[in-house]
Amino acid sequence: MSLTPKERDACARIESWRQRMVDELAAWVAIPTGRGHVPGLHRQRALLAARLRALGAVTHDEPCEARPAWIDPPWAHGGAAGGVGHGSAGVGEGDTSIDVLVAKHDAPGPRLLLSGHFDTVHDPHGAFRALVDVGGGRAQGPGAADMKGGLVIALAALEAIRDAGVPPAWTFVLTPDEETGSFGSAAALARVAPGHAAGFVFEPAGDGDSLVVERMGAGQFMVEATGRAAHAGRDYAKGVSAVRVLCERVLQAERASDAAAGRIVNVGPLQGGAVTNAVPDRARAWGNMRFADDARQAELERAIDALASGDDDEVPRVRVRRVVGRPAKPMTPAVERLAALAREASEDLGRPLPFARSGGVCDGNNLQAAGLPVIDTLGVRGGNLHRTDEWVDLEGLVDRAQLVALVLMRARERVAPSP
């Protein structure tokens, strides 16, 4: 399929904005929005709101809910890494003080939902704080690919199709906590999704410029063991080591993993005891589970629940907390149709668009779980995500924005309205 005159018009406009997009990306990357940094998140959010209102959208806020305190180890947000009970409660700085931003633009045709996040994982006070050209058409910077570059190209695409005279009806929802699991914004995503015909998320392109069409789901859990304290030398036999009990449960949890069968359990931070000459009476472990579908999710939930043991006054005893933050995102017929539309648009721009699966998760999982067909790697080409050498393909800003413009213009014509 060749490009229509209006599609060529939109693509030409984007081409003329090449340097503007690079400059905007540099400005946004310089705003620290990692690790719940409130001033940076507020500043980035305000800039996005202003740009969306300039496109003719009406904006409103959706509140973030409180992040479950148990999800993070106490030292995750500046607390101490010593004995149990020290440090913060595990609530990230700013997780509940920055609202979800929702912008709504009215036009004829099916309503499309665009989604992105403006937080990153990077230390707001670290040395990695600017976009730096490293040659070969690439630049490195915090969040350059994940996903400030994606927001830059999404806004450029919306401006181009507006100027070309074919703006769709759209809603843009922007979250401040995607990198920490969207636990605060998940309810807002579920509230916004109904009434839309299709969803588009601007996570960076997959390996080989692929479009990720299927994702695993993800959940978090914490295992807490309680034992009996005792002097390690004089009264060792009177003690009950919570660390030993926890280690047994960690191994039990890991045995539930079978990556080939679509089940993954990974136990990360561990905490137990404060000194070596006392039998530890408390120990904790935090873990992540990934699952290919609802059936595998149920299997892992049963396996994690089975780690618990003992009555409230019994020693040792083990307690488990768990939550599924992102349901699995399967390839449905509706998703397949959206992916085919994107592939056709990419091929019309002269680039293949292979499809891929991923064990990673994003807000697209939550939106699709709310009943919306979603494709979610329409962002920039980049790599080394979440590292201090994260990079973005500057030369690709134009063609990726052109791809988004074509996808939205064609979805306006071909996607059935939401019932």
Distance CA 7, CA 298 (A): 46
Alpha-carbon torsion 107, 109, 111, 117, what sign? negative
The confidence band for 86, taking pLDDT boundaries of 50, 70 and 90, is very low
Q: What is the pLDDT of residue 77?
A: 56
* Mean per-residue pLDDT, 297-308: 98
The confidence band for 364, taking pLDDT boundaries of 50, 70 and 90, is very high
Residue 202 contacts residue 154 (beta carbons within 8 Å):
yes
Residue 215 contacts residue 262 (beta carbons within 8 Å):
no
Q: What is the phi/psi pair of residue 355, to 5°?
A: -100, 155
Distance CA 413, CA 419 (A): 16
Residue that the structure tokens 């996040």 belong to? 117
78 compared with 196, residue with greater pLDDT = 196
The confidence band for 79, taking pLDDT boundaries of 50, 70 and 90, is very low
Distance CA 27, CA 172 (A): 21
**Domains observed in the chain:** 5-64+99-216+329-414 (3.40.630.10), 224-326 (3.30.70.360)
> Cis omega (within 30 of 0) on the bond before 316?
yes
Q: What is the pLDDT of residue 97?
A: 73
* Among 148, 143, 150, 146, CA closest to 202: 150
Q: What is the phi/psi pair of residue 389, to 5°?
A: -125, 30
Residue 193 contacts residue 371 (beta carbons within 8 Å):
yes
pLDDT higher than 50, residue 95: no
Tokens of 201: 């998320």
Q: Is 147 exposed, middle or buried (0-12, 13-18, 19+ CB in 10 A)?
A: buried
pLDDT higher than 70, residue 282: yes
Q: What is the pLDDT of residue 1?
A: 65
Q: What is the pLDDT of residue 76?
A: 77
Q: What is the pLDDT of residue 91?
A: 33
Q: What is the pLDDT of residue 418?
A: 80
Distance CA 204, CA 147 (A): 7
Distances 311 to 47, 317, 319 between C-alpha atoms, Å:
53, 7, 10
Tens-digit pLDDT profile for residues 160-189: 999 999 999 999 999 999 999 999 999 999
The confidence band for 94, taking pLDDT boundaries of 50, 70 and 90, is very low
CA dihedral (159, 164, 168, 173) in degrees, to 10, reads -10
Which positions ≥6 away from 391 have C-beta within 8 Å? Answer: 134, 138, 139, 140, 144, 145, 382, 383, 384
Residue 242 contacts residue 226 (beta carbons within 8 Å):
yes
pTM across the whole model: 0.93
Tens-digit pLDDT profile for residues 316-346: 999 999 999 999 999 999 999 999 999 999 9
Average pLDDT, whole number, for the chain? Answer: 94
